[in-house]
Amino acid sequence: NCDDGEIVIKFSHVTAAQGHPKGEAAALLAERVNDKMNGKACMEVYPNSQLFNDNKVLEAMLLGDVQMAAPSLSKFEKYTKKFRIFDLPFLFDNIEAVNRFQGSEGGQKLLHSMESKGLLGLGYWHNGMKQLSANKPLLMPEDAKGLKFRIQTSDVLQAQFEALGANPQKLAFSEVYGALQTGVVDGQENTWSNIYTKKFFEVQDGVTESDHGVLDYLVVTSAEWWNGLPDDVRSELKTIFDEVTDERNQMSRKINLANRQKVIDAGGTVRELDADQRAAWKKAMEPVWAKFEGDIGTDLLEAAKASNASN
């Protein structure tokens, strides 16, 4: 618990404290802050939606009741539509491209895009690349036609599945397993970590390794609170935060690969796509980009495309 005189930093998130990329990153951040900034600042982490769920946490932050949170990027719809860029299918070839984009000038500018509304991004935390699964094999985009896919609340993801001729259904994450099992929905998209830890593969025909999109979190804080911190505290916090972010983001790839293997070991089917198949999926989904270009801005979109070329 915090001592008197320390600046209290409440970090609220919705995942388990252990075994999940976000939960582990938050725990590591708290450990470092409480160790290195003892006497100056103190971080309390509230996992598992104990304090607030993802829909409420940003409001609570603006009311001053929590100082840090890490909602998935699609939760920032109401503050800026620019973050829709991360939901676009097949925009990034792999997680390295995502890294390059986030580190670029455009990606860093995005962190400040909500300051007028009171929120400040500190950095991006990866969950990983998304894979597709359904109750039948998905090898070509036509296979998805007519199927019901669970999505998070996001207009981009809705458009993505509509482009396939599929039927997107918004559903809370906690209800997905049951919905897949009883056939309320036929399929879903998620990272290997989520597919393994929530055992979605058990109730699906198989998982197609599509890497078609990214599932990331934005670590966010209240601009008012952050700018009101003493300069030394703020810079020390930011340094610790950046270290933790680098370390954990590198880990997230390993965690996802390990979970992919665990799915196979547990008897799940994993289907890889050959180059032609992948191209077909990309072609089917790409029209979605144009639809949201206005919200995102052409410059940013071009910067994202450029991040695929490693140099």
**End-to-end C-alpha distance for the chain, whole angstroms:** 47
Name the residue among 118, 129, 103, 265 with its Cα closest to residue 208.
129
287 binds another protein (CB under 8 A): no
Residue 36 class from Cβ within 10 Å (0-12 exposed, 13-18 middle, 19+ buried)?
A: middle
Nearer to another protein by C-beta: 16 or 257? 16
286: helix, coil or strand?
Answer: coil
**Closer of 8 and 257 to another protein (Cβ):** 8
Residues in 17-56 that interact with another protein by CB under 8 A: 19-20, 22, 44, 46, 48-51, 55-56
> Which segments of the chain does DSSP mark as H helices, in order?
21-36, 57-62, 95-103, 105-111, 155-163, 176-182, 192-197, 223-227, 231-265, 275-285, 287-296, 298-306
Q: CA 196 to CA 173: how far, in whole Å?
A: 14
- At its nearest, how many Å lie between another protein and the CB of residue 125? 13
Q: Is 266 in the site for another protein (CB under 8 A)?
A: no
Judged by beta carbon, residue 101 or residue 292, the one nearer another protein is 292
Residue 165 within binding range of another protein, rule CB under 8 A: no
Site for another protein in 169-228 (CB under 8 A): 170, 172-175, 177-179, 181-184, 194, 197-199, 202-203
Smaller CB separation from another protein, 96 or 175: 175
269-274 long-range contacts, Cβ below 8 Å, gap at least 24? Answer: 269/201, 269/205, 269/206, 269/207, 270/206, 270/207, 270/209, 271/137, 271/138, 271/139, 271/206, 271/207, 271/208, 271/209, 272/209, 273/139, 273/208, 273/209, 273/210
Using CB under 8 A, count the residues that bind another protein. 44
Please report, as residue ranges, which positions from 124 to 163 form the binding site for another protein (by CB under 8 A): 153
Which of 38, 63, 230, 242 binds another protein (CB under 8 A)? It is: 63
Q: Is 16 in the site for another protein (CB under 8 A)?
A: yes
Cβ at position 103, least distance to another protein in Å: 26
242 binds another protein (CB under 8 A): no
Q: Of these, 62, 264, 280, 306, which contacts another protein (CB under 8 A)?
A: 62
The interaxial angle of helices 231-265 and 95-103, nearest 10 deg, is 170
Residues that bind another protein (CB under 8 A): 1, 8, 14-16, 19-20, 22, 44, 46, 48-51, 55-56, 59-60, 62-65, 78, 117-118, 153, 170, 172-175, 177-179, 181-184, 194, 197-199, 202-203
